[in-house]
Amino acid sequence: MPTAIETGLYVLVLGSVVGLEVIRRVPALLHTPLMALTNAIAGISLVGSLLLAGSHRGSLITTLGTVAVAASSINVVGGFLITNRMLRMFRPSKPAHAARKAKADA
């Protein structure tokens, strides 16, 4: 019978392999929506790590929870910054947009 640590490691390795394969096969056009979804998942892990850090189950658990809060926070903030940058790439430039509007009005 596997222990809880062995089961946890098995789930971690299996999830990592499946996640890598899924993300690797995503077309470039879908990276922005995928990043937004990943940010939502990172936000959920942030809430879980906050609960773990404040659970008062011992100093090791509190320390690991605090590290998880820091890592999740960096992931969420960085993910939103990258998503915002990617979305700005799809906005039309102002001079080109104004020229098209003037051309359509004429």
pLDDT tens string 45-58? 888 889 888 888 88
Per-residue pLDDT tens for 13-22?
Answer: 888 888 788 7
Q: Are 49 and 65 within 8 A, CB to CB?
A: yes
> What is the pTM for the complete model shown?
0.58
Residue 67 has a pLDDT of: 93
Per-residue pLDDT tens for 57-75?
Answer: 889 989 998 999 999 899 8
Q: For the chain, what percentages of helix, strand and coil (3-state, to nearest 5) are there?
A: 85, 0, 15
Per-residue pLDDT tens for 16-48?
Answer: 888 788 778 877 767 667 777 777 788 888 888
